[in-house]
Chain A
Amino acid sequence: MSLDTRHDEHEGGLREDLGAVSAVADRIREAIETVIEGKPDVLRVLLTVLLAEGHLLIEDVPGVGKTMLAKALGRAVDCSVQRVQFTPDLLPGDITGVSVYHQDRNEFEFAPGPVFANIVLGDEINRASPKTQSALLECMAERQVSVDGRTHELERPFMVVATQNPSDMEGTYSLPEAQRDRFMARISVGYPSPQAELDMIDSHGSRSPLENLSPVTDAARIRDLVERVRHVHVAPGMRRYVVDLVNATRTSPELRLGASPRATLHLVRAARAHAALNGRHYVVPDDVQTLAVPVLAHRLLPGPEARMERLTAEQIVAEIVSRLAVPGPR
């Protein structure tokens, strides 16, 4: 996807379309909030990534609702959802699918794996061996599966929501930088507020609220919305702003590794989706500022000094954002 936008021909229609984007997004949000309460920021990033055709990494301690969140999204959008529980003995074929020999027909037939779905929930991805992890990550980047020399396209929308436990917990293989880079954004769900936790006891006490969740939209509609998001305008000054922001992570003395050019593309795409979610047909600095931490932080490696000062990548990104002048007239 290029940074260029072709907005001129359908500006008028686009604004109405974007009203539809935010309306649909609001419906999805409301639906999910019946399951997970009090996490509007998390939901916003989730929807942003969905509309920007990215993949989401949810990182948190066990039991805070990572899986529930992904499942709720799958239920709210009427599309195929597959769940893969990553374990150390999981093989690449268990994800992509394998060719099975049919003796009667005397030929191989491809049996699609769980990755053939609109939303793939990769649970505890850092428990699998790196080999298996990379099989999934290849599907994420290429949006296709190659088995035995044959290529199988994945249906759109295709979104991987992977959860992982923090890498310092037992039995985990932390994702290498190159693979973290393929996720558009990383979020932490975090513990619910005391009130939300009280409500949760009530709602989850009787039966799973997921069962009450009925779909509010479908895959075709999401494809349509994604197409509209692509036409959101990014002003030249805003492009420079994004580039400067990413550049700043590369030259920051606090960081051992800065963000990649892919991060630049992801940040622009996410900012477009974020603008559309708010009913705007152009990107403003606030979009970029809101998304800078979720989109950039997981790709960065703090340097030794920063680690001694117990600075996290999130704090460093936030600091850079607060120091960078927004584009404007002189």
Chain B
Amino acid sequence: MGPDRHRLPNPLGRSALRALMSLAVLVTMLASLPLFGGLINGGTWWIQAAVFMAVVALVSAVYRWYVNDSVAVPFLQLFAVVLLYTPMYAPGTAALGVLPTLETLRRTVDLIEQGLGTIASGSPPVSPTEGLTLIVALLFVVFAMTADFLAVTARCPGMVGGLLLTLLSVPLFVDDAGLPWVPTAICAVGFLTLLALDTWVRNREWGALIPSAGGPVSRVSGVVGGTGVVAAVVVLALVPALLLPLTMSSLRTDAFHALVGDRRLGGASDTVTTTHPLVSLRRDLAATSDRTVLTYRTDDEDPEYLRTFVLDGFDGENWTMTPVRTGRDNALDDPLPRPPGREWGPNEEVVTTRITPASGTPSMDFLPLPYPSVSVEVDGDWYVDPATLMVFTTDTPVEGEEFVVLSARNRPGAEALSSAGPPGTSLDDHLALPGGLDGRVGELTASLVEGAGSDYEKALTLQDFFTDGSFTYDLAPPPVPTGSDPLAHFLFDDRTGYCEQYAGAMAVMARQAGIPSRVAVGYTAGSPDGGNRWTVSARDAHAWPELYFEGSGWVRFEPTPAAPEDGQGTASRPDYSSEGDSADEEASPSPSSDPEESASPEATPSSPETDGATASGSDGTERDDASGTSGSTPPAWLPAVGVALAALFLLCAPLLSRALIRRSRRASVGSGGVSSAHSAWREVRDTCLDLGTAWNLEESPRATARRLGASLPEPSEPARAALWRLALAEETARYAPEPHTVQSSGVDLDTVVTALTATVPPGRRWRALLIPLSLLPRRRSGPGDEPAPAPL
């Protein structure tokens, strides 16, 4: 007489059906693996995850087959996974070949760190390192165990859909390409398979549902009602999800970001392919994380920005990078080619910068370097692009390896810039603009630079135009309306953006003003760390325009506001671009050309009064600035309202779903037939469950009606009679050959629900309303569905 004898008998092969469900869960989870296909390189990363999931499912299936119990399943699964994991990932550390030791734990931590590093390297697809496959395998193991619990132990296979949605969201968030539709379809098919099998199993356990015996009219109305309920649920679920984000600008997706698409560079065999610089920039900016990217030591008190990429082409929407070429001619040797256009004086000083990428930072195939660099010491095969002095490699460089760069200390002076002549070599490529640009941009540029004497003055005017306070710095600018030109939208309508928009717009306008220009992407100088050490974090990622001046070469300008709150916090304006006034440029981007503005450096860029005055004065166009700036910024209370609405929605979600269920049941009551009686009786049941009144599955409907009727206070004859009618209708629907003899009526149902509700104290009524316990999963009725405890 083992413990398993204290059970009611198994109905026909229940263990087998449960085991089958475990395997169905495995199929579903395996079908979700292709979702990660686009994120990881190579074709073998999934094998470990599949093996682990298979073990998890087999343990569940075998155990459920032999033991009519589920309690031990997760523990056994965990045990099996650990036994399998140790020889697979940490073979040298195991005791007796399989038992994990402390060393195994250390190895695991190392592997996970490695995997996290791979993931942090950003742009998918990432390389399938051992740590990454481990993380993927562990993720899927956890999900497979949870799915097994939900679908087989808790008998709620629908909940597995939540897990799959979580998996679906991974490529959605990580991959700019979005959801791949084929793996998504495979995943959906896997889920539907699970649901279908569950239905089949339920029918095997308890027999097929008795079809409604109503006439064609009631059937049609049933179908219409059912469709209506489904439609209502869909609307209720989708409408808030789609509308709520519109009230919160931070939730809006970035159409303006489409200004730069994910473009691969490439073509000839010796050109270099990389993720588009602005995409990784955007990712770093969007992360706004304080994660350290690199640290460096320098003997320069005011270090130059660290430049990684140069984008020298503009196609009307995006700034693009001319593919760089490898080859013997371009191999990195000492010294680097001379920076184009820069005169190399006899008393040039050099700055030594030792740059150490932080651990965990993905290896850099383009080096962040101060411009203009003179020589670079770094291990490996590196190449340099002579036109831009970008230094890059086609190998995967060693992570965290230090490199040393020498760069020119001298900055161009204002005199040299203002007296610069025309370019000595042809730089037409850097003046080229596509046709089809919004005409207003050209007019604006012309009106701005009108009267400026030199290219240098034009450049300063353009820079001031962006930093005079009429533009708003926002890392998540509102989306660009479909069909409108992002550049024009930024300049004339929205005036909200971050470095990418500022740099791009200024570079375009410089070209219109006749100054060769390009966009540089990299990092600001970062924050001083004491001594001569500086730390650059992910939020220091930046983009800025470089303008060409004969004799000085490519010169950096800074149109992006530099305030810590409303701008790029560590951005700095070079001395030469401030017209000799270098006072508090870090704190205030206000141009010194305007004495009023200088007098009040605290004026924030979004202050509407100063906006109106300076903006209309500087560009001379008719523009309603109040609507241009305040209109695009959502009121401060809006997010709070959104959060409150969301909280309210969450609080009311049980109430609403219960009300929806009650409504749909109430609608089907009175339509006649089996479903009508069942609906009414289920509503009585759920009312009891909500109110905390006992509901026994061992009681027949009439016995239940007798017990509940006795609990109703006097006088309640009508309610008792109504309850009795509902019970008889349910009884005939369940057990009689032709169930139309007694009909449930909506009036009876209402009477009974009211009477039952009146029997409990008001506190419990409120609880029943707000926390309807009937929504919880519970035992199902039907013979032998649940093992009985030991008798007596």
Contacts and interface: CB of A to CB of B under 8 A. Distances in A.
Contact of B731 (A251, A284, A315, A320): A284
A27 to B, nearest CB: 25
Interface of B: 1, 5-9, 11, 202, 206-207, 209, 678, 682, 697-703, 731-738, 779-786, 788-792
B90 to A, nearest CB: 46
A244 B9 contact: yes
28 contacts: A7-B737, A235-B734, A235-B735, A235-B737, A237-B734, A237-B735, A237-B782, A238-B735, A244-B8, A248-B9, A251-B8, A251-B9, A253-B1, A254-B792, A282-B737, A323-B789, A323-B791, A324-B8, A325-B697, A325-B783, A325-B785, A326-B697, A326-B699, A327-B735, A327-B781, A329-B209, A329-B682, A330-B206
B698 A284 contact: no
A50 B263 CA distance: 90
Contacts of B9: 244, 247-248, 250-251
A263 to B, nearest CB: 15
A103 interface: no
A248 B10 CA distance: 9
B737 A244 contact: no
Given A251-B8, A285-B735, 19 more contacts: A233-B735, A237-B782, A244-B9, A248-B9, A248-B788, A254-B791, A254-B792, A281-B737, A282-B735, A284-B702, A286-B703, A309-B792, A320-B788, A321-B698, A323-B8, A327-B735, A327-B782, A329-B781, A330-B202
A244 B734 contact: no
Contacts of A170: none
Contacts of A205: none
A327 B788 CA distance: 15
A240 B11 contact: yes
Interface string A234-250: 01111011011101101
B791 A8 contact: no
A326 B791 contact: no
The 4 closest A-B pairs by CB, nearest first: A323-B788, A325-B697, A328-B781, A285-B700
Nearest to A238: B735
A325 B781 contact: yes
A281 B699 CA distance: 20
Interface string A112-129: 000000000000000000
A307 B144 CA distance: 48
Contacts of A248: 8-9, 788
A327 B791 CA distance: 20
A284 B687 CA distance: 24
Most buried by B among A319, A326, A328: A328
A284 B781 contact: no
Contacts of B737: 7-8, 11, 233, 235, 281-282
A322 interface: yes
B5 A327 contact: no
Nearest to A258: B9
A215 B155 CA distance: 59
Nearest to B205: A330
B697 to A, nearest CB: 4
B485 to A, nearest CB: 59
Given A315-B792, A324-B8, A244 B699 contact: no
Interface in A130-145: none
A147 interface: no
A20 to B, nearest CB: 18
Given A252-B791, A328-B781, A236 B207 contact: yes
Contacts of A237: 206-207, 734-735, 782-783
Contact of B783 (A241, A253, A281, A282): A241
A196 interface: no
Contacts of A324: 8, 698, 783-784, 788
Given A251-B5, A327-B783, A330-B202, A240 B207 contact: yes
Contacts of A243: 783
A167 interface: no
Contact of B700 (A286, A316, A330): A286
A311 interface: yes
Nearest to A254: B791
A244 B1 CA distance: 20
Nearest to B677: A329
A323 B792 CA distance: 10
A147 to B, nearest CB: 43
Given A237-B207, A251-B5, A251-B7, A325 B703 contact: no
Contacts of B784: 240, 244, 247, 324-325
Nearest to A236: B207
B786 to A, nearest CB: 6
Nearest to A234: B735
A289 interface: yes
Contacts of B697: 325-326, 328
A283 interface: yes
Given A248-B8, A248-B788, A286-B703, A327 B779 contact: no
Interface string A287-330: 00100000000000000000001010001100111111111111
Contacts of A322: 698
A240 B783 contact: yes
A289 B207 contact: no
A282 B732 contact: yes
B247 to A, nearest CB: 41
A319 B781 contact: no
B710 to A, nearest CB: 16
Nearest to A275: B735
A207 B735 CA distance: 48
Given A251-B7, A323-B698, A330 B788 contact: no
A177 B482 CA distance: 87
A320 B7 CA distance: 10
Contacts of B735: 233, 235, 237-238, 282-285, 327
Contacts of A285: 700, 703, 735
B11 A253 contact: no
Nearest to A240: B783
A159 to B, nearest CB: 28
Contacts of A328: 697, 701, 734, 781-782
Q: Which of B9, B731, B785, B788 lies at the interface centre, i.e. has the most chain A CB atoms within 10 A of its CB?
A: B9
B786 A325 contact: yes
A309 B790 CA distance: 14
Contact of A286 (B207, B702, B791): B702
Contacts of B731: 284
B668 to A, nearest CB: 13
A30 to B, nearest CB: 25
Nearest to B706: A286
B738 A329 contact: no
Contacts of B6: 253
B698 A326 contact: yes
Contacts of B791: 252-254, 316, 319-320, 323
A250 B701 CA distance: 27
B700 A326 contact: yes
A233 B736 contact: yes
Nearest to B3: A253
Contacts of A316: 791-792
A326 B781 CA distance: 7
Nearest to B700: A285
Interface string A77-107: 0000000000000000000000000000000
Contacts of B7: 251
Contacts of B206: 237, 327, 330
Contacts of B781: 325-330
B664 to A, nearest CB: 16
Nearest to B2: A253
A326 B786 CA distance: 11
A282 B781 CA distance: 20
Given A247-B9, A289-B700, A327 B736 contact: no
Nearest to B779: A325
B701 to A, nearest CB: 8
A177 B782 CA distance: 32
